[in-house]
Amino acid sequence: MKNVLSLLLGLTAGLAQAQPQQADSVFIRKIYDETLARGKSYEWLRELTKQVGPRLSGSEGAKKAVVWSKELMEKEGFDRAFLQDVMVPHWVRGAKEEAYIRSGKQKLVVPVAALGGSVATPPKGIEAQVVEVKNVAELEKLGTAGVKGKIVFFNRPMDPTKINTFEAYGGAVDQRANGATFAAKFGAVGAIIRSMTTLLDDVPHTGSMRYGTGVPLIPTAAISTNGAEKLSSLLKENPALTFFFKQNCESLPDAPSHNVVGEIKGTEKPDEIIVVGGHLDSWDLAEGAHDDGAGCVQSIEVLRVLKALGYKPKRTLRAVMFMNEENGLRGGIGYADYAKKNNEKHLAAVESDNGGFTPRGFGIVGTAGQKKQVMGWKELLAPYGLQEIGPGGGGADIGPLAQQGTALFGFKPDSQRYFDIHHTAVDRFEAVNKRELELGAASMAALVYLLDKYGL
């Protein structure tokens, strides 16, 4: 009799546990149905990229994007849409860059793009001999005697054997960020950086760089990977060849801008906040469709979908369009500062800034208990291709919230094509697949639903 009673109690407990999970499964299915059948993110992305366009912080495009996103969230009937003031860097590219390799009588034009934050060359450009290095250790070995008066060419490729292309990017991007500083320490007059992509093509990839203290500010630009291969090959044939480049960029005084926040107020715990967001700014070379227009429209879609389904969140849900992720992170830092100043409690934050490709999962930054709880939702999310759920990065914009104990979640789409277009002129609306974008929005909405219902 005792064994029968134990069995019955076990079955009862199992049924009690299964009922909420079944309800969650049904609701998550509704989230995907609404997003895939009646989703708005793709058309919003068309508007953002085609009507607003490039949105580098401080630019007229960035101003238009702020107005566009606030009006959109007001139109969707969120409880509140408001702006947070931030001062942002204002760097402008100026006239299109020029570059060529001169080897003997041969003059070969190559594609380059000034790196964000770089100074300009002299008005007539710079032409000098070139030294090629793979890393700082090789540069230090050459020393001032081998570098002074020359252009340093950093030519370390992203590692093509890395399955996760973000890992490959992380293993190479330091030369873009710091190459000019290290080259200047040894007297270089300029720095040329191999573009951050595994693809061999003629498209230069821009991106942010920074100058260290106490060194001359020398101009620095990215060269396309085909250009880098050609320069490296010609250097082997003729170490005395010269490289010419001319760029017209300039850093203007910091400019006023805004984070844009849309909100649905919580019904039970309104003082607990769950953020979902992307960064509104983009590089100036193209429309910023994958980086990060996709993340912005997906985040707004999360709130729209839950609202359309009649879901009444327990906690306050916010869609945040952060400003200035690309060359300063002022929006992310400013948002965390506002939260601290207003004593806001942020339970969790989800960021989409890895492109609008096919969903794979979420990286989690949090306590062991928080990670364990989220891992318990894998069975609910796995049917939608979300297999990669576990420890990982959250996101640059939401990172400053970690100091308040906020659990961070980074949306992880398939990474294989991202760096083909990252920070380039080909990051356009046409590069985004509608269904992949919508699946990402639905995945984020499913996670936000579970975070809101169960907390952490």
Catalytic residue among 325, 326, 351, 438: 325
- Per-residue HEC secondary structure of the chain comes to CHHHHHHHHHHHHHHHHHHHHHHHHHHHHHHHHHHHHHCCHHHHHHHHHHHHCCCCCCCHHHHHHHHHHHHHHHHCCCCEEEEEEEEEEEEECCCCCEEEEEECCEEEECCEEECECCCCCCCCCEEEEEEEECCHHHHHHHHHHHHCCCEEEECCCCCCCCCCHHHHHHCCCHHHHHHHHHHHHCCCCEEEEECCCCCCCCCCCCCECCCCCCCCCCCEEEECHHHHHHHHHHHHHCCCCEEEEECCCEEEEEEEEEEEEEEECCCCEEEEEEEEEEECCCCCCCCCHHHHHHHHHHHHHHHHHHHHCCCCCCEEEEEEEECCCCCCCHHHHHHHHHHHHCCCEEEEEEECCCCCCCEEEEEEECCHHHHHHHHCCHHHHHHHCCCEEEECCCCCCCHHHHHHCCEEEEEEECCCCHHHHCCCCCCCHHHCCHHHHHHHHHHHHHHHHHHHHHCC
Q: Quick check: 57 and 330 in contact, CB under 8 A?
A: yes
Q: How far apart are the C-alpha atoms of 326 and 352, rounded to whole Å?
A: 14
What count of Cα atoms within 13 Å lies in the side-chain half-sphere of residue 204?
26
The answer to whether 287 is a known catalytic residue is no
Active-site annotation, residues:
325
